[in-house]
Structures are given as C-alpha cells and as structure tokens.
Structure 1
Amino acid sequence: MLDIALHVRVDVDLLIAAQNDMGVCDAIEHYAPGGKPADMSAPNVPKVAGIDPLVPPPAQTPAPAGAVIQDRLAGWVSDLTTLHELTERLVGTGALDEALHEVVRAGAALVGARRGLAVLEPADGLGPASTVGFGLAHADLGHIETVPRDATAYGRFLDGTTEPGDGGPSASPDLLHEEGLDPLHREVAARLGYAASYALPLTGSSGRLGAVVWLYDEPAEPVERQRHLVGLYGRYASEHLTRLLELERARTHARTLVEELLPSRLPRVSGVQLAVRHRTGPRGGGDWYDALPLPEGALGLVVGSVTGAGPSATAAMGRLRASLRAYAVIEGEDPVAVLSDLELLMRLTEPARSATALLAYCEPAKRKIVLAGAGHTPPLIIGERRTEYAETSLSAPLGMLSCWEAPSVEISPKPGETVLLYTDGLLHRTGEPMDRAFARLHAAAVGVPKAIRDDPGAIADHVLRTVLPDGLDEVDSAEDIVLLAARFD
C-alpha cells in the first residue's frame, strides 16, 4: 500500500461545489496541491559492499487533481449529451403509443436492460390505457399481465398501493431468490427468462400516469449513476406524456362530438349503394355530410363545410345540418329552394359565418339527380366509359351575399356509375394548387381498378389513398375530409 500524505488528497465533492461557485478553472487552481509530496516510507536493508542500501520509491504517484476533475466533467458531458439525444427523440413523438415505445426503449439503454414494458393508466380513470413492450412479444406481455398486480412493483405504482414515501423507483436485483415472491410471478419470470427488474413510476404535473419496468436476463440492478440518469429522463418523459395525453383526450372529444352530430349509419334505398369516408382534424371541423330518405323512394345527399375550426365550428355545422334536413323533407325535390332557405337562416342566426353546400335530390329508379351547389366543388362521375366532373353552376357560398340564388342542374348517371361528392379539404390536404389537385383527383378516379367498381366503399378508399398517399389522409391537419359515394344500379 502506498502511504499518500494527507495534504495531497483531493476532496472531489468539495471541488464540485467550488467549481459551481467560482468556475472550473479557478476551482482547480485554488484546490490544486502545493509543495512537494512527502517521501514514501521504504524499508532499510543492510549495507552490502559499499552499496547504498536506500531503495528509491516506486514511480507511482497520485493522479493530479486536475485530471480527476477533468474525468468527472467528461462523465457529466457524456451523460448530458446522452440525455439530450434521448429527449430529442422523445420530443419527436406525436402519439401516446409511439412515445411509450420510445420511453421504454431509451430507459433500457440507460439502465442496461434488454427488455421492458410501459403501462399507461392515468389515475383519474379517464383513459386512454395502453401497454407497450420492448423486446417482448405480444404473448410475453400476456403472460406478464397474468401476474397479480399487487405482486409487482409497477402494479403497485399503478394501483397507488405503495407505502408513503415509497413512490420512487423499485429494484428487484435477484427476483427468483426474493423472499415472499408470488408463485405465479416466479413461474412467469422463469418462463420468460428474466431474473431481475427495475421499475419506475411515471408521474406528471397532473398526477400518476403509469409505470415502466425493465427486465434483466441475469441478477443485476442499475448503479447509482444509471438510476440518476433514468430518473431525470423519467421526469421529462412524464411531462411529455402528460401533454400528449391532454392532446389525445381533446382529439377524442372532438371526434366524438362530430360523430354524434353526423349520421350513425347510411340509409338503405333501393337502386343505390352508399358509402362515406370522413376524416376530422385534431380540433374538430365544420365539414359534414348527410343522406336522408325522402318520399316516393327519393334520396337526398348533401356535403357541406362551415368556415372555421374547433368546437364553435362543429356546433354551427350541427345546427346547419339539422336545419337542412328539415328543409329537405319539406321541399327536397327543389334543391335551390332548400339552399335558399338555409342561406336566409344563416344570415339571421350565423351572421359571422359562411358555408358551402352541395345538395343532390336523387331518384334512383329513374337514375336522375338534380343538383344545387353554393360555392362547393363539383361532383365526380366515375364509370367504365367516362370519368368526369359534373357541370354545376357557379355560385357564392351561403352567407356571402345579401341574397343567394343559383340555378340547378340535372345529371343522369348510367347503370354501374358512381357519383362522388366530396369537400374541398380533400384537395387542400394535397398541398398543391387547386387546378393540380383537381387533376390528381380525376387521375385517381380514372385509375379505379375494374374489380372494385361495384363497391362504392372500395372506390372511396382507392381515391383517398391515391390522392393522399403515404398516410396523408390520417395525419393531423386543419382540413377535414368527406367523401360520399353513391353507386347507381
């Protein structure tokens, strides 16, 4: 053992505190050892043949204080860089399941585990609830879920049954030899091949969100540095999950409100098949559709859009749709009269809004459609011999002029042809100028495979995927989408 003099030993914690106050360089200079180190004790041997018996001390000297601090600072920089990279990846997630996958994956890298799972289960009970795994198959998650919740640390986090002051992480470094381990838990751990676990609660500013647990193949547990890093990451991840949870709930409420205001199902009318595709933006919008049976076997089809977004636009859409249904039942055979009445109602009750609408009075037995449009995009006729836009009269949206009036037009779809009504959100989501968007929609309709032309739902799906490829129809957008397809026998 080397006997190092006391005055050359460096208190690292004292250096850390000092460098926070006076700066790294000043702290190193202030606490650097001064003078020469004391000689190390060495054994005396007998003098032989005039040779000096003093043995020179070994060439081992203590590391300089500056090197110690530099190593410590290098470790800090490495840890901060790692946390920065992981949190940047987490910020890039925009959905709850995607964020949970990233949390359990990043946490596994921080604590040195190969597998894990994250459970989202907000304490307020309002959902949504979700479980995702990392390195675990769906069947593995099923096996783990058979273990009683109170027999696992993360289950106790979720149920809120941890003891006061025990809300921090929980380590089981040697799970299979743990006293009092639930027999089913032991069986599942042996079957899946994990021997240790480390669980961390996820708690945001709004309360408990869920928990995450990482599984080790051998008895192990994270060291203090790993615990510290994953704790910092877990706090940041909890706040990010809180924001995503609030956003998801707002989207769910908006979708629910819109769905309740729109038809729960399409009517069945002889001579025509109907299908609809509807996509709502994250804030909820004012696009709507309707299909209502009318006297003498007739059918009324309508698509429309109210300016604005959010709950107020959704409420206005509901009022206009209800009013149009009433007018259509009374005088549906005259679409111009229906839209005129709706425009008068808008000027009296919605003076700050405008709306577009396209109303079609259909007589399937005669394959006859009378159309009236107010600032709306023209319908598209899709058939084997023709794919073309129907010619409609140009007119202003409802609420834009002191008095709306436009002539109606009549079209006659042939047997097997499909009339596609849509809102302009489909065109706006392409991000292209309107003329090119119309051309893209027409090309998509021309390319409808012959095998699906008898199915209006398949036609609508094909058009939607072709006009908005790579999932653009599903991504968040301020633009709602409505496609209403009517195939005539």
Structure 2
Amino acid sequence: MAARRTGLTASPDPAFDRFASMVRNVLKVPVALVSLVEADRQVFPGALGLADPWQQQRQTPLSHSFCRHVVDSAQPLVIEDARTDPRVTGNLAITDLNVVGYAGMPLTDETGRVLGSLCAIDTVPRQWTAAELALLADLAAACSDSLQLRITTTSARQHQDRADAQAARSRLLLRASTALAATSTADDVVDAVRQLVTGTLDPAYVGVSVLDRSGRVNLRSGLQLPSRVAERWNRYTRGAATPSALATRTGVPVLLPDMAAVHALTPDAAETFLEMGWQSGASVPLPGPDGPVGALTFVWKQQYRLDDAEQTVLAALAGYVAQALQRADYLFSRENAAAVLQKAMLSDLPDAPPFELAARYEPAARGDHVGGDWYDAVQLEPRHLALVIGDVTGHDMRAAAQMGRLRSKLRLLLVDRNESPSGLLRRLDTATRVLGDPITATATLALLSPEPGGADGYRLHWSNAGHPSPVVASGGAASTLTGHDPLLGAGPRISRHSHTRHLPPGATLLFYTDGLLEVRSHTLEEFDARQRDLHDRLAGADGVPLDDLLERLYEEFAGDDHEDDVALLAVRLPPGPGGA
C-alpha cells in the first residue's frame, strides 16, 4: 500500500528510467533498476538492460526479487556472487534474469519506510568498491526524494479528485431535487434520472420498479427496453431472484459488480443480462413510510463496482425518486393532487449553519388549496445563502404549475451563475420569455454572505421584482428593505437593480407574500396599520424560535380564513462573539 501511494506501477516512468540510466553509466553495470515491492510482486518504474520479456513487462513475482530483502531488512544488500550467497540461494532471478552481482540501496518514503531499492546488477561476480556503493547510496537518496515528491503530488491530486467528485455528487443531488420536483409521471421520473446520471455513472439502462397493492413488482421503465424484455418483467412476484425484487424484499442495496455476482445473487436475471450484453448492475430500494416501495436499478455493459460515495449518492437519489413516484401516483387522484403538488413544489429548507431558517406555506382557505406562492433557500457554499420569496398570480393548479417552472429555472440559475440578484432575475425573465413560457409574478431574491475582511455580521444583496418588501429586525427595532423594480414578465429590457445592506449579528430577516397582510375589504390606511403592527411584532421577537415566530405571525395576521395564499420565510443570523 505504501508503494502504491507513489502512483507508480509496472510501466515505464521517464524520471525513474533516468535514475536507472545514471546508475548504469556511473557504475558501468549492464542492468540497473528502480524496484518497488508490493504484496505479491516487484515492479520496475525505472529499468535499463533487462532481457525481454522482463524489460517490457516491468515486473516479476517475489520469487525473482532480491529487492524484497532490502525492504525486509531496511538495509543495503550487497552481493558479490548470488550463486554462492546463502541469502539468495535458490532465487529464480539468478537463472531467469542472470543476476549474479547485486548492490541495492533502500528507497524510502517521507516516514522512512522502505519501499524498494535502487539496484545495480552485474551478470558476472562483482566486488563492489566502497566508492561505488557510496555513489549508489547518493543516487538512492536522490531517488527517494523523487519518490517522496511523487507521493505528495499523487496525494494532492487524489485529494483534489475526491473534492471534485464530492462537488460533482453535490451538484447531482441538487439537480435531482430540482429535476424530479418537476416530474408528474413515472416516465418523467425515469427520463429525469437517466439525464441526471449521464456523464457521471453512465449506466446502459436505468430501471424503476414499484410494488403494487398485491405485493408484486411492476416495471415502470419498460419503454427503455425491447418489448420482449419489458413484457418478461412487466409484473412478477416479489420473491423472484432479480436485482429489483431482492432490493425491495431485503431493503438493502444489491451490488452486482460482475456476472459472477449476477449468477450468485440474482440468477433469475442472468439470462436478461446476457441477452442485453450487461456485465454489472446495482439496485437500491426506494424508501417508503412502511418499508421499500420499489427499487431503482442501474446496469452497465462493463464490470462496474460502486464505491462507498457512489452508493451514498444512489441512496439519496432513490429517496428523491421515491418521492417523485409517489407524487406522480397521487396526481392521478384529483382529490389528492392539489396538496401533493404544492408540497412537492416547496423545497425542504437546507441545514445551513450558522443560520437558523424557518418557512411556512398555507394555501388560500377557498379554491383549489394550491397556488403560486413559494419560498426557497439554497446554500451556495458555507455561510453563503440564497433566499427567495415569490408569488405567481392566482391560487389554483395552473398558478402552482407556473410557480414550479419559475422556481426550477431560478434554482438552476442560482447554482450555475455567480451574479448579482438583479442579474439573476433579469436572466430568469429572459429565459421565461425566450422559452415561450409567459409567467407574471412578483419575487424577491436575496444573497446573504459574510462581511468582507472578517467584520461582524453579514452582507445582504437583494433585488425586488414588485414583491412586498422584506423586513429586518435587530436590537428591538424593525425596518423595511426598500427598493422595487417591475414584476417578472412585465416586458423585455426591464431595468433591475440590486441593493446592499449590512445585517448585524443576531438580526432576523422576514420574507412574506401579500396574503399575510392584504385583505380586499381593507383601505390603504388599514393596510399601513397592519404593516406597522408587523414591524412591532418582529421588533419584539428577539430570541423567539423562528418556527414559533412564524406561527404567531400567521395566526395573528392571516388566520384560518385568509383570502390568498401565504408564504413566509425567515432567517436569523448567528449572534456575535458576545451573544447568547
């Protein structure tokens, strides 16, 4: 394992071939090697003078290794005539590689662990002089330095690769939450998952299977298979030995890295694997409230072994898929469609320390009990938070569908673009218009980030497209974040502006939709009075848990008979160094 940290293996490496060349030229020997010892072989990233096939293969079994004695003893090994030296008598390198005279100096990593040796080899008996051994030791020390640098470089590259892979997995799950939230049928779900994993896992087939009420497995991704195969697995018993049935039955992932595993664990599926040219697969259970409700299956046309991180991603993806499938099934029933759709459109708030977050949505008391109000929060990076509140005109299924499309577009822009709030809203307006999806809505987009230079508090950047102004409360006072631009969808080439404000530690920020305060029968003066009351309630809310605060505000200002949808989003900044 220590040798493999170098990233070197049984193939030529120009840097270590140069070390072998220096040894060969300086000591005037026919063969010189940079040899690293692994568990069952020695490899030669540097080698000159070996006879074929050894020079081409760059490796031997340990039965041919003098270098292993250097590693075991952590000392130089100097042999005048290997044919008569009891330390190596019987070593196959004597006859197969014609090793007679041998001098090997230890090669070490940064901890002093011996990884192999720098070897000078003669094909006849050789009396090594002190000067020759001193030169070889100096070259070995330089070669060790190169190995240690290679270890550092390889470790840094692997660390960066792991970081890049983690970022890619995070982006995949963020895209999954957005893409699957917009699906309404099982076919939509399958298409979305296949598009999400293209370019990362790259499976040959993505399968979705669910349990019906009788406990049989139903294939929901048959359109992606030849009809004869789809018909074979359209509906079958849960006790079958297939990847989907086994994952559903046991509730644990089924990993099939090769055909041997397919035959051993899921023999009923082996014929289909052979027919389709698949070589490996994996199936993860779709979680439900009372146990697995089905399985999400991937197959590949080559051997593929999922690592731990990939298994974690698939488990999380299976959770999204399960929710999306349940939503799709509920949408077939009109009496459940409204509630399920609205819940799917509203994101779960992220766990975004050091911020405290809370949100609430309540549909209008009358109508479809679903509407176009929404809130959103996306943690872009540690201590950087995007906050969104918006309202598409109407509180019916059409408004909810429009809201979902608008919210999804904005989420993708937040992830893909590092721009000002006004720039992002401008792009959202343009995308909606160019895609032929006219939507009229109000919205506020705010970006919360640490003050530069390590100052206390946070910097808030926001842009308001015709939406009720957010309120910030701190130190027993509340104020409005002023500045309005026209609403979204008002027309092309709208001028939009970003605003900036410092928020002190412990400040509370409230976003809300107009349903919280507006009552059709009220006059403008009455509305202004309700706004002042809202400020008073927030000013006195220091230390009140945000969930409790939103409950109080909803009960006092909207109540159970409110005329419009209500969405509330609150964020509280961490206290300063001396705070509670």
TM-score (norm 1): 0.45
Structure number with greater CO (CA < 8 Å, separation at least 6) is 1
> Which structure: larger Rg?
1
Question: TM-score of the superposition, structure 2-length normalised?
Answer: 0.38
